[in-house]
Structures are given as structure tokens and as C-alpha cells.
Structure 1
Amino acid sequence: MKIAVMGAGAVGSYYGAMLARGGQEVALIGRPSHVEAVQAGGLVLEATFGRFRVPMRASTDASAVRDADLVLFCVKSTDTEAAGREMAPHLAPHTQVWSLQNGVDNAERLAAVLGRPVSPAVVYVAVELAGPGHVRHHGRGELVVPPGPHSERLAPAFTEAGVPIAFSEHVRGALWAKLILNCAYNALSAITRLPYGVLVQGQGVEAVMRDVVRECLEVARAEGVEVPGDVWEAVRRIAQTMPSQYSSTAQDLMRGKPTEIDHLNGHVVARGEALGVPTPVNRALWALVRLIERQVPAR
């Protein structure tokens, strides 16, 4: 199977490497320094289960999605429309597109640009770019996608590559559950520059996280979204299963890059305003990250 990864940062490169190791034909589309390193010596995958050097195609050009059976769309939420417009002319009629992005509305935004369906996927993986051509995996790796003939046809490529994949009719609720996890951890990890395991030991931090979760659940309820499971228990487990993980927002700030905070806590704030639901704790975290973004020189 031919698989293209549009926006091959940490998440996209991890799944691309796993699929390539599983025998699929993978093309990564990413930033020049990362692409050049992969072209020169393959992608270094430093995983919890071993260290591997995985050869695969890499390009900076969106035309590399041409003839793909599946595109894993992994760009930052802020770049969804622009990246979608870049790749749209190169998509084959049979190509399936999955959005593996943070946030809850990217699949709809991308579908509007592409003029074709896009499947939202919920991603549970802790990874970081340790350097150009080098991905470090800290844990997990599951995907949840909507059921359907196309998804079920593509799923064996993931299971054969060691990527757990599940089907759910309630992906919207699962996306909100993932959003709430991100809202609880991302901004706090970014502001303090601490990994999850250290962060949660701070005085008063658990109370702040509980307030974030409560506000998010109130907004979701007002949206008519049923969030599955015990959300607070899921939040609590993250620090136990990923103690050394820094949030993607923290990683962005440490690299001098724009964050996705507008699509995390900022999305909750915006929807809360629209629906008449107060979100003061999410608003404070969103505002603080935006202030820090302005102080970090772009690289």
C-alpha cells in the first residue's frame, strides 16, 4: 500500500516509520532539514521497543501525495487549510485522507478545502522530534477511526505494523476526550516547561487541572457531545503512563515555534463564549501561552 504523511513532524514520522517497517511504501512530506536527514540516512526511530533506522521516501513538496492509497494528514491545526490547498491538486480519486491532528474540527475544515470526505482519527501516542530525521517514542501509539469499508480495508496495514487500531461510531466524543486531555496538560507543561510526571506533583496543580476538565465537559455538554468514559481518571493516568513526556505545546515553545493553543484551550474558550458557558481557567491558560509565544523569537 502507498501511504503519504502530510506534515511529517513527530506524530506523522512515528506512524510513517512504523508503517514502513511493516512493509508499506511510505512517503514523508515535511520541513527541509527533516526531509534531508531522512533522504540521507533514513529515519531514526528511537522507540520503547528498540532503536531502528527506517529508509523511506521524503519530500518537501505536497505533490508527493500523488497516487497514495492513504494520506495521514498531520500538519498543525493552524496550517490545515493552507496545507490542504497545497495537496488537493495531487490527490487521486481513490485516495483516503485521515486527519491525525489535535483539536476537534480539523477533519471538517480539511474536507471543506478538499471537497471530499476526511476521516477524523483520534491519536494516543507520546513522541517528540529529537532532531532532524530522529523521532523519540515515549509510549502508546493507538489510533481510533470511524468504521466503514475504506477504514476496514486500510486497517490491516496498521495492525501488521504493530499499530493498534480501533473503530468507533463515537469518534466526535473521543476527539473531545482527547481535547480535554490536551487542555489539562498542554498549557501547564508549556508554561512550566515540565514533563507530566513532575508537573502533577506541583502544589495546586491537580485542582487547576480538575477545573480545566470541568469547564471542558460543560462546554462539550452544551455542544451536545457525549464524552465517553471517566475523563478525570484518563487525565490522571496520562502522568503515570507518560511521566517523561512534555506536551506538544511545550515542545513548540522550546523550539520557538507557534503553538496550537488556539485549537486547544482557545477552542474551549471560543465555544464557551458562543454557548454562554464560562471558562475562566481555560481562558487564563490560553492567554498565558499566547503571551509566552510573543516573547519567543521565531526560528
Structure 2
Amino acid sequence: MRILVLGAGALGGYFGGRLLQAGAEVTFLVRPGRRARLEREGLVIESPFGNLRRPVPTLSAEEAVPGWDLVLLACKAYDLPSAIAAIRPAVDGRTAILPVLNGLSHLDALRQAFGPGAVLGGLAKIQATLAPDGTVRHLNDWRYLTFGELDGAMSPRVQALAGLSARAPGLVAEAVPDILQRMWEKLVHLGTSAIGTVLLRANVGEIVRAGGAPFLHRVLERNAAIAAAHGHGMPERFLAEYRALFADPGSAYATSMLRDLEAGGRIESDHILGFLLDAARRAGVPAEIHEAALLHARAYEARRDAGRLPVARG
């Protein structure tokens, strides 16, 4: 299988590297700075499930041509327009596009750009980060990639990807017939964590130790109500799992949004918080918590854009 991975950051680097180990023909479509580092040092992954250091093929956007079985889209949601432009020359009638972005709004944008039959649903459950030295650091035992056809069919292409992924070390991948349900489930728990992150600037354990478990549970129930109103009710086993997570004083769980905020970076506010706020309003679900979180996030972004974030002191 010929796979083009957009980006070689935390997600793209990790999943692309593992698929390369499984025997896929993987090439990374990357910006000039990342390309230079990869050509100089190779792809480096540090993980509890095995380290990797090896040379990898790379392309720039200007060199992209058709001929790929799969494009793995592993960018931040706010980079989607530029990602679509970058991969467009590489996509032809045989190409499946597998996005592992947060949220759901990217599906419509990709289907409009490439046609509904080209786009798969996908989600990643992994905690990883791209270190300043270019190393992809895998932070815990989450290493899950889930994907499927948006119409629920178990097509030859998703079965082929599942078979390939089964040979990849450090990767647990599954092709499913209910990928939209799975994506809503992720949005419910990620949206709960993101609201806590934005409003309280702490990981789950810190929020719980501050007395915040009832707050997180209220947000979880609101998000579950939003999903149910849009045809994707949350199973009780799912809610029980995340009620326990959002009551654990020892949990170190934190979203990438928290890491991005603390680093003074861009955040996926509109793609997660904005999507949930709009969905809540359409469903008639009380939305004051979502509105406060989105306003807080946008205020942070305005302050960041103005160069007014606090400077860290050593």
C-alpha cells in the first residue's frame, strides 16, 4: 500500500512510522524545515512500545503527484485549508483520504473538496508530542487508530488498511462499521476535557483535586445530550468510563489544547468548542458553559495575536 502522510509531527510521524514498519510504502509530505531535519536525522520515535530511528522518504507540496492508495491527514484542524491545497495534486480517483483531526467539521470540507466517496472517517487516541529536537515522543500506552467508511461499509480499502495495520508494532488499529458514532464519542470526551482545559488551565487530576469533578460530570452530560440530539447517543459503558476518568484525582490526562495553551500556541477552539456550541444551540441543549469556554478561548487567541501573552520567567 502506498501511503502519503501529510506532516511528520506527533500524530503523522508516529502513525506513519509504524505503518512504515508494517511494510507500507510511506512518504511524508512536509514543510521545508521539517524535511531538512528528516533528511539529516531520519524519523525518530521514542515510545514505550519500541523506539524507531530510520531514514524516510519526503516530498514538498510542489513535488506531489497522484498515485497514492491512501493520504493520512494528521494536521491540526485550523490548518485544514492549507492541508487540502497541499494534498490536492496527489489525489486521484483511487485515493482514499483518512483524516485523524479532532472534531467533525472537517468531514464536510474534505467531501466538498474531493467528493464524498474519497473520504474515510477516522480518529486517533494517542498522547504524543513533537519535541524541539524533532523527536516524536509517545507519552503513554494510548496508540489507537480507528477508521471506517462513512456509510458503514466494510470496503476492500478499509480491510486492506486493517490488515496492514495489524502488522505494525506499537499500533492498535481497527476498521469499524460505525465510525461516525466513534467520532461523536471522542468529541464528547474531548469536548469535556477541552472545556476544562480552557476554563481551568489544568489537567484532569488537578481539576478533580480542586473540587471540579461535579463540574466535569455536568459538562460530560451536556455533551452527551448534544450528541444524542444529533442521532448519536452515548452508551452507558462509555459514560461510566468517562465519569470515572473525570473523577480520578490522580489522573494526569490533559488535552493537546492544554499543551498548546501553555506553550502560547494556536488552539483548535472553533473546531471543537465552536462546533459543540453550534450543535448545542441547534439541539436546544443549554449552552452557557460552551459559550463561556469558546469566548475564553477566542479571547486567548486575540491576546496571543496581539503579542500580549505573559512571558515565562526562568
Partner of 2:74: 74
CA offset at residue 224 of structure 1? 1.8
Q: Deviations over 1:247-295 (max 9, x none)?
A: 1112222333321121212211111122322122222222212222222
The yes-or-no answer on 1:210 pairing with 2:211 is no
Query: Which whole-Å CA distance do the structure 1 matches of 2:86 and 2:257 have between them?
Result: 25
Change in Cα spacing, 1:183 to 1:62, as seen in structure 2 (3 Å) is farther
Partner of 1:130: 131
Partner of 2:202: 194
CA offset at residue 236 of structure 1? 4.6
Q: Higher Cα Rg: structure 1 or 2? A: 2
Partner of 2:51: 51
Partner of 1:172: 180
TM-score, normalized by length of structure 1? 0.88
Partner of 1:113: 113
Query: Which one-letter code corresponds to 1:209 in the other structure?
Result: L
Find the partner of 2:260 among 248, 252, 267: 252
Query: Which whole-Å CA distance do the structure 2 matches of 1:56 and 1:64 have between them?
Result: 16
Partner of 1:15: 15
CA offset at residue 25 of structure 1? 2.2
Query: Which one-letter code corresponds to 1:14 in the other structure?
Result: Y
Q: Any stretches of 5+ residues in structure 1 without a counterpart?
A: none
Query: Which one-letter code corresponds to 2:228 in the other structure?
Result: R
Identity %: 26
CA offset at residue 90 of structure 1? 2.2
Change in Cα spacing, 1:27 to 1:191, as seen in structure 2 (3 Å) is farther
Decide whether the 8 Å contact of 1:220 with 1:226 is kept in 2: yes
Query: Which whole-Å CA distance do the structure 2 matches of 1:297 and 1:226 have between them?
Result: 38
- Superposed, 1:258-273 pairs within 5 Å as 258-273=266-281
Partner of 1:99: 99
Query: Which one-letter code corresponds to 2:213 in the other structure?
Result: E
CA offset at residue 217 of structure 1? 1.4
Q: Any stretches of 5+ residues in structure 2 without a counterpart?
A: 149-153, 308-314
Change in Cα spacing, 1:267 to 1:235, as seen in structure 2 (3 Å) is same
Query: Which whole-Å CA distance do the structure 2 matches of 1:192 and 1:24 have between them?
Result: 42
Decide whether the 8 Å contact of 2:68 with 2:90 is kept in 1: no
Partner of 1:224, secondary structure, is coil
Partner of 2:146: 144
Q: In angstroms, what is the RMSD of aligned CA positions?
A: 2.5
Decide whether the 8 Å contact of 1:42 with 1:133 is kept in 2: no
Query: Which whole-Å CA distance do the structure 1 matches of 2:253 and 2:62 have between them?
Result: 30
Query: Which whole-Å CA distance do the structure 1 matches of 2:222 and 2:253 have between them?
Result: 24
Query: Which one-letter code corresponds to 1:86 in the other structure?
Result: A
Change in Cα spacing, 1:111 to 1:65, as seen in structure 2 (3 Å) is farther
Partner of 1:23, secondary structure, is coil
Range 152-161 or range 130-139, more displaced: 130-139
Change in Cα spacing, 1:73 to 1:148, as seen in structure 2 (3 Å) is same
Change in Cα spacing, 1:255 to 1:4, as seen in structure 2 (3 Å) is farther
Find the partner of 1:278 among 281, 286, 296: 286
Decide whether the 8 Å contact of 1:193 with 1:246 is kept in 2: no
- Superposed, 1:238-249 pairs within 5 Å as 243-249=251-257
Decide whether the 8 Å contact of 1:143 with 1:166 is kept in 2: yes
Query: Which one-letter code corresponds to 2:26 in the other structure?
Result: V
Change in Cα spacing, 1:141 to 1:180, as seen in structure 2 (3 Å) is same
Query: Which one-letter code corresponds to 1:42 in the other structure?
Result: G
Query: Which one-letter code corresponds to 1:111 in the other structure?
Result: R
Partner of 1:221: 228
Change in Cα spacing, 1:261 to 1:36, as seen in structure 2 (3 Å) is same
Find the partner of 1:158 among 165, 169, 174: 165
Change in Cα spacing, 1:236 to 1:226, as seen in structure 2 (3 Å) is closer
